Structure 1
Amino acid sequence: MTGKNRSRYSSNWDTIALEVKSKSDWKCTRCGMQCLRPTDKRDGLNRRERSIKTLVVHHRNYTPEDNRAENLAALCSSCHMLFHTRRRGNISPGQLSLW
C-alpha cells in the first residue's frame, strides 16, 4: 500500500484487520478457503502460493475510512481481486503483482 493510500486507513488498521481475520478463523468468508495464519509455516510454498493463501480485509463499500464491522469482510486474495475487478479502476499495482 502506498503512503497516499495508507493515509485513508485509520492508525489502528492493523489491529482492526487482525480482529476481522481472527473472527473468520482465517478463512475466506466468500469461498471458505483456509488461509495462512501469522504462525503458519510457509516452507514449501512459493511466492504465488503464499499470495493466494493470504487473507485480507475488504471494505464492502470501498471506503477505507469506514471500519464498521458490517462493512468489513475477510477475503482470500483471489476473492478480494474479484470484488475489485468488478469495480473498474479499483485495483492497485500491489494487487496486480499477486498474479
Structure 2
Amino acid sequence: MPIHRARYPADWEDIAKAVKEATLWRCSKCHKQCLRPGEGRGLNRSERALQTLTVHHANFTPEDNRIENLIALCAPCHLSIHRGSRGNVSLGQLSLW
C-alpha cells in the first residue's frame, strides 16, 4: 500500500513478503487467513482486496524497516489503524472501504 514509493527501500517487496511468510499469511490483528501469491483466482476485486495481506509500519515511518517495526495486517485492519491517525493513507483510500 505504498503511497510515497520513494520512502520505501528498493527491496521492499522482498521485506514485505518475508514479514507475511513469517505469519503464515495471517493478519496479526484479526488472525484472518489471507491470500498467498497466486491464490484468489475466481474472486472479484473487492473480495480479493478484503483478503489481501499488507505490511504496516508500527511507527508510521516507511523508512524504518526494522523487523520489530513491521506488522502483517489484512487490508481492512491496516486501513482501520490509519483512520484518524497521523498515518500516510489518504482520505480517498479510506473511502474505498
* TM superposition score category, shorter chain reference: 0.7 to 0.9
Answer yes or no: is 1:72 the counterpart of 2:64: no
Q: How many residues align?
A: 96
Amino acid at match of 1:34: Q
Alignment of 1:19 with 2:18, yes or no, is yes
The equivalent of 2:54 in structure 1 is 56
Secondary structure class of the residue paired with 1:7: helix
Cα displacement string for residues 26-58 of structure 1 (whole angstroms, at most 9, x for unaligned residues): 000000000000032421x11111001000000
- Separation in 2, partners of 1:7, 1:32: 30
Conservation of the 8 A alpha-carbon contact between 1:27 and 1:34: yes
Measured in 2, the distance between the counterparts of 1:72 and 1:89 equals: 14
Q: Secondary structure at the match of 2:7?
A: coil
SS in 2 for 1:91: coil
Percent identity (aligned): 55
Structure 1 unaligned blocks of 5 or more: none
C-alpha distance in 2 between matches for 1:59 and 1:51: 19
1:86 counterpart = 2:62:
no
When normalised by structure 2's length, the TM-score is 0.88
The amino acid across from 1:29 in the alignment is S
Partner Cα separation in structure 2 for residue 94 and residue 11 of structure 1: 26
Quick one: structure 1 residues 40 and 94, their matched pair in 2 at CA, closer, same or farther if it must change by over 3 Å?
A: farther
Of 44, 47, 53, which residue of structure 1 is paired with 2:45? 47
Amino acid at match of 2:74: C
In the superposition, the TM-score normalised over structure 1's length comes to: 0.86
Question: What stretches of structure 2 of length at least 5 have no aligned partner?
Answer: none
Q: Is the 8 A contact 2:60 2:87 kept in 1?
A: no
CA contact (8 A) 1:48 1:98 kept: no
